[in-house]
Structure 1
Amino acid sequence: MGFEEVGGMSYYVGILLGLVLVLKWVLKSVNSWMYESGLEKKTRERLPPGDMGWPFIGNMWAFLRAFKSTNPDAFMSDIVRRYGTEGVYKSFMFGSPSIIVTTPEGCRKVLTDDDAFKPGWPVATEELIGKKSFVGISYEEHKRLRKLTAAPINGHEALSIYMQYIETNVVSTLEKWSQMGRIEFLTELRRLTFKIIMYIFLSSESEEVREALEKEYTVLNYGVRALAINFPGFVYYKALKARKNLVTVLGKIVHNRRMKREEAQGMTKKDMLDALLDTKDENGKKLDDEEIIDTLVMYLNAGHESSGHITMWTTVHLQEHPEFFQKAKEEQERIVKNMPPGQKGLTLKEYRQMEYLSKVIDETLRLLTFSVMTFREAKKDFEMKGYTIPKGWKAVLWFRSVHHNPEIYPDPKAFNPSRWDDVVPKAGTFLPFGAGSRLCPGNDLAKLEIAIFLHHFLLNYKLERENPECPLMYLPHTRPTDNCVGRIIKVSK
């Protein structure tokens, strides 16, 4: 090949490379043109640093790639490396122009300012959990529904009533597991926590119905953090089918309960479904079936999924750290020893004495960060650290960055309950259940469930994992890929 031919080829290769770079630049600019061009010049100039990724999918490819790898933090660390440590970044997430917020103060401001922000969940979450559940309703509707459900879920009287049911089931379930041999610990925990939340909301439903619903929720959860692509083969498509099945089953339950109540006038309330059927607003209007079903879908999901995962991880961490296990066990032994003569079972008095165990649970909540992020939508232009979150854009609050910030939590990847000794977290630095008016309504119940389980586990059992080095998966939630296969061993006293 002659010199001229080589030169000619190099020329065309150069042109081709140039065209590729131009095309890449154009594609990377599409989202910015679509969503920034309509903003006022002042607002555009005050957008935080960042990029909006590829057309339509935005930064989701990078997010999914990181969270399906062994290093989920690669997504945020790459953004920080490229755009600095300001903690506020422009992006395009879950189908919307977004501002990612990673600072405690920024998260606190967004979560507590109901005049400036409203719920901004992704389309997939709204469609799967329900537009008339807490994730989609207005501030006033949320306030009304929260008032209705808060006391029956987290109230002192309610927690006292649930304690006996929770404890009875924990004791019998641990005994059963110890005789089963090899189990998927996480799977069995999710079944246990689902049984508990089912009892609270739908006390009379059969085991067959419960198992059918729990199976559908497993599929549903994979779609909550997915792209809303409703096409065969995609996770969201399967999750929508699961929601449809859930709505069908729950619709029948609601209908049958209405019929029973009409046949038995004056029947007493038994569970949360009765309360939902009875509730009225100031004008006497009751909730319709869609509102009730969406509320059930949300509560039944949130009420078992997080509790099951957190209980598993707390148990695993304690088992991996014998010194913390022993300290927590000794506390539970003291509590049992100091119970009044003749008392059977735990009461809220004993629960409130579990000071060290509470630190263990809080440390797991911090380290795990079950909800990596949450979403709000700006109702008006909002100023933060000299930047603007434009009206209509989403604020993606990255709780994982807050909980793993070494300036707030030294050696943040280490499990260390002692870090909570004599420490009251500063506002915005500890957000396992969110904050503000939309704080998770079942947070007290969740911690109660976890504490009761750990009380009996610490006193009488140990976990032997089959694959302690099992790799982890991070979507939809952090867990071992084998669902923590192992054996629950009863220990001699």
Structure 2
Amino acid sequence: MVKYSPDAFSTSLLGQNLVVFCGAQGNKFVFSNDDKLTTHWLPPSTLKVLFPGIGGNQYKETVALFHKFQYEILKPDALRQYIPVMDSLAREQLRNPSSVVKALPLARKGRVFVDEVDPERLHKLLEPFSRLTVGLLALPINLPGTTFNRGLRGGKVVQGGLMRIVEERRRKDSQGRDCLLSKLLIDEDAKYMSDIKIANFLIGVLLASYDTTAYALIVVIWSIILLNFHIFINKFLKLRIGSSLFAQQMAIAKSKGADELLKWEDVEKMKYSWNVARESMRLAPLALGSFRETTTKFTYAGFTIPKGCKAMWTVHSSHMNPDYFPEPEKFDPSRFEGSGPAPYTFIPFGGGPRICAVRNYAKLAILVFMHNLVTRFKFEKVIPEEKILFHRNSPIPAHGLPLHLHPHQGEINPSLMHVEAILYMQI
């Protein structure tokens, strides 16, 4: 941006020449012109890993099917029903934790959309699914031992496992069942689709819901509760943030019965907690942007961009821009109070017609998981200087973020919440 233009520049990525749109105006232009001047595009190497056996633009049928079903599974009434399910799953995962747990595998557990499938069976797909996601934006060199090769093999294993699940479900009566897979198999547009296409659809759902949400949880756990990312934060601000977050979650916990699950009204009270999570995602976004392809020739910021050109919008060009966020390296949840950031400046889930469909689901999962962790445990990192790696352009702890969990002992006195929070937030 400094060398060429703060509005747009051209570069090369994964063997493709593309234009990068920058800043809030670039974000607004791309989001406002989806399906007008641009269309969705994925690098060929990404398609080979994500959707094995599908070539060219055939994957768009899978994308269209997801858009049809996203309202059914992500509508407001459905999301309200997921909250106690999420809370129950979080409690189950944290019921008898060992003294050391890895946060990343813990965050990846869940089965809301496929709750009729044996959890252990899904769990066996986690390792090859992880290889799949790591290979999505790897250099397209298909040699044994390369990340791309591991991604290809992981994609085939996941696809095969999901195809077997689809085959078994076809032999059963899906009428009246409420999970996504059952709804899919009785849908008029989908019931005649091949098993491989349905399996690829489920891979897309897992990537959007399970993987994106897991990354979001890790970003929040790591960069907020442990304050690992925020090396520029002063001690007073750190204690104030920790105290406010802890006090809010403990107040909600004390208003509930011992076995009473969270509900929509409880999540609505977590406004400060959500501001903390959003500031976390501003500093460590879930993705660096996404790709487009131009469908016609047009002019932008004085540049002529031809038809068929590959394009990309970026997160950091607005998230870390001091014109939008003063002192952008500083962690400050108050940025989101009142009317919050200006439009098109905070875009962790994208925007426009192609905004991440699971953003509201991810919000609920983050807040429910945060509530269970904060109200039940204090934390201590096992590896104080654990490195950050980027898998599929998302920040991931190199060793899965192992934590020492120390359960809160006995009844917590509300008058001591501030002191407890100070102790809790120490690194």
What TM-score, normalized by structure 2, do the two folds share?
A: 0.86
Match of 1:184 in 2: 102
Pick from 257, 266, 281 the counterpart of residue 350 of structure 1: 266
Note the alpha carbon deviations across 1:57-96, whole angstroms, 9 max, x for none.
xxxxxxxxxxxxxxxxxxxxxxx3432x423111121222
Note the alpha carbon deviations across 1:342-392, whole angstroms, 9 max, x for none.
982111111112111111111112111111121000011122111122211
Q: Which moved more, 1:465-474 or 1:216-225?
A: 465-474
Match of 1:367 in 2: 283
Note the alpha carbon deviations across 1:311-337, whole angstroms, 9 max, x for none.
223223233333212201211233345
Separation of aligned partners in 1, 2:221 and 2:321:
24
Match of 2:67 in 1: 146
Amino acid aligned to 2:76: H
Greater percentage in helix: 1
Note the alpha carbon deviations across 1:269-297, whole angstroms, 9 max, x for none.
2310011112224xx97443233111100
1:338 deviation in Å?
A: 4.8
Is 2:167 aligned against 1:246?
Answer: no
Q: How does 1:101-250 map to 2 (within 5 A)?
A: 101-113=21-33, 114-130=35-51, 142=63, 145-152=66-73, 154-177=74-97, 180-190=98-108, 192=109, 196=110, 199-250=111-162
Note the alpha carbon deviations across 1:146-179, whole angstroms, 9 max, x for none.
1322231x222222322222111211322322xx
CA contact (8 A) 1:105 1:427 kept: no
Is 2:222 aligned against 1:305?
Answer: no
Amino acid aligned to 2:203: V
Q: Which moved more, 1:360-369 or 1:288-297?
A: 288-297
Separation of aligned partners in 2, 1:131 and 1:382:
34
Is 2:213 aligned against 1:295?
Answer: no
CA contact (8 A) 1:148 1:279 kept: no
Q: How does 1:354-433 map to 2 (within 5 A)?
A: 354-433=270-349
Match of 1:27 in 2: none
Q: Secondary structure at the match of 1:97?
A: strand
Match of 1:57 in 2: none
Percent identity between matched residues is 24
Q: Which moved more, 1:398-407 or 1:467-476?
A: 467-476
Q: Secondary structure at the match of 2:362?
A: helix
Separation of aligned partners in 1, 2:327 and 2:53:
41
Change (3 A) 1:483 1:115: same
Change (3 A) 1:175 1:323: farther
Is 2:395 aligned against 1:473?
Answer: no
Is 2:365 aligned against 1:449?
Answer: yes
Amino acid aligned to 1:100: V
1:252 deviation in Å?
A: 0.7
Separation of aligned partners in 1, 2:61 and 2:212:
26
1:235 deviation in Å?
A: 1.0
CA contact (8 A) 1:461 1:491 kept: yes
CA contact (8 A) 1:276 1:287 kept: no
Is 2:183 aligned against 1:275?
Answer: yes
Give the RMSD, CA atoms, in angstroms.
2.5
Separation of aligned partners in 2, 1:274 and 1:358:
33
Is 2:381 aligned against 1:461?
Answer: no
Change (3 A) 1:407 1:280: same
Whose Rg is larger? 1
Q: How many residues align?
A: 396
Task: Pick 1 or 2: higher relative contact order, CA cutoff 8 A, min separation 6.
Answer: 2
What TM-score, normalized by structure 1, do the two folds share?
A: 0.75
